[in-house]
Amino acid sequence: MSKQHTLIMPLDMHLHLRDGVMLETVAPLTSYTFSGAVIMPNLVPPVTSKEAVIAYKERILSACGYEMQENDFMDEDGLGGGDFEPLMTLFYQNYDEGFIEEIQDEIFAIKLYPAGITTNSEGGVKSFDIETMRPTLEAMERLHIPLLVHGETDGFVMDREAEFMSIYELLAGNFPDLKIVMEHITTKAAVDMLDKYANLYATITIHHLLITLDDVAGGMMKPHLFCKPIAKRPEDREALLKIALNAHPKVMFGSDSAPHPQDKKEACGCAAGVFTAPIALQLLCELFDDHGKLNNLQSFVSDNAQSIYGICPEFKEVTLVKEAFKVPEKYGNVVPMYSGETIAWSIEDVL
């Protein structure tokens, strides 16, 4: 009899869905197995208004086959529309307090990008001047709105995340009641930073738990493994594995699944992003099982996020089985990680 494992209310705490035809292709692949996902706001143009947040959420729910409901994912009774909830984020700018108060009920968090550091982030923060940012961050602190951060400088590509640690210290130290999430961490430096401040948390992707830069560019270039932040050294991956496999209470799964059309990935000027949404849970089961840590996976993919954010997801039960699954070559015009390869676990049932 094949080995089985059940996950209750899986959450993807960092997801890119894009828009238009791409949204229609990829959104159902996440909503099928996840109870909810934190949706990134770096569209073109970025999501910077209340109207844009509401309209984008409606498009996501429509792509998933749902309609907008009055009940919200964060209601005290835990009710929501359908069995998947997009947790909406606002693209960080220096907003005034009145605007943040007006939009607070429509957003889950605000996402900060350094200007130009990743896909569609040209309108991001150009200078981390704390006094300029203070009105926005103090309002977020008072209203309990988390700050999600893409933590990279514009320095040498292998050092960008490590160089950003001083900015995390600046933010965490100046705003101790602001919940700050270091998104998709990739380095030992970020792991070491995690427990220095009570208000710092982190998401980790499946691909950064599996690959190093050598897998991307050590032989022939593999564009579908190229992402930002780039995969780092073996010692960085080992540090990530240690806290993820042991379900450190301040870390959560966030896929950073980032779809691009095949012609944008297999091209000069290759777009950054690894598409893992339809195989994320299968890969996590395989990884945790291989390390004898399968009992910790529930905390990593749901329980920690529920505790950190104080949320109650829609009920969903996903049963996985240790049976070979051949990853499709493509989903629409998006090539997934491990395209055409066979992985060890499959989705058996979703209730």
pLDDT digits (tens, 9 = 90+) for 34-51: 999 999 999 999 999 999
Residue 192 annotated among the catalytic residues of the structure: no
Q: What distance in Å separates the CA atoms of residue 14 and residue 19, rounded to the nearest whole number? A: 16
Banded model confidence at residue 70, pLDDT cuts 50, 70, 90: low
Banded model confidence at residue 78, pLDDT cuts 50, 70, 90: very low
- Given the residues 256, 290, 303, 349, select the one marked as catalytic: 256
Q: What percent of the chain has pLDDT over 90?
A: 94
148 in a domain, yes or no? yes
* Number of domains comprising the chain: 1
Q: Which domain holds residue 243?
A: 10-280+291-315
The pLDDT, as a whole number, for residue 38 is 98
**What are residue 347's DSSP bridge partners?**
320
285 in a domain, yes or no? no
Asked which of 75-89, 134-148, 323-337 is least confident by mean pLDDT, the reply is: 75-89
Inter-residue contact 146 to 309 (CB < 8 Å): yes
Banded model confidence at residue 82, pLDDT cuts 50, 70, 90: low
The pLDDT, as a whole number, for residue 66 is 87
Long-range contacts (CB closer than 8 Å, 24 or more residues apart) made by 173-178: 173/197, 174/130, 174/134, 174/137, 175/137, 175/138, 175/141, 175/199, 177/141, 178/137, 178/140, 178/141, 178/146, 178/147
17 in a domain, yes or no? yes
329 in a domain, yes or no? no
Banded model confidence at residue 1, pLDDT cuts 50, 70, 90: confident
DSSP of 230-272:
PP--HHHHHHHHHHHHTT-TTEEE---B----HHHHSSTTPPP
Mean pLDDT throughout 209-213?
A: 98
The pLDDT, as a whole number, for residue 67 is 77
Asked which of 56-70, 98-112, 232-246 is least confident by mean pLDDT, the reply is: 56-70
Contacts of residue 84, defined as CB under 8 A and 6 or more positions apart, other chains included, come to 30, 31, 34, 35, 36, 37, 64, 66, 314, 316
82 in a domain, yes or no? yes
Query: What CATH code is carried by the domain that includes residue 166?
Result: 3.20.20.140
Q: What distance in Å separates the CA atoms of residue 111 and residue 92, rounded to the nearest whole number? A: 5
245 in a domain, yes or no? yes
pTM, two decimals, is 0.96
The pLDDT, as a whole number, for residue 73 is 43
For residue 55, the one-letter residue type is A
41 in a domain, yes or no? yes
- Would you say residue 209 has pLDDT above 80? yes
127 in a domain, yes or no? yes
The pLDDT, as a whole number, for residue 256 is 98
Q: What distance in Å separates the CA atoms of residue 162 and residue 182, rounded to the nearest whole number? A: 12
- Would you say residue 72 has pLDDT above 70? no
Q: What distance in Å separates the CA atoms of residue 228 and residue 36, rounded to the nearest whole number? A: 23
The pLDDT, as a whole number, for residue 2 is 82
* DSSP conformation class of 302: I
> Pick the residue with more confidence: 69 or 196?
196
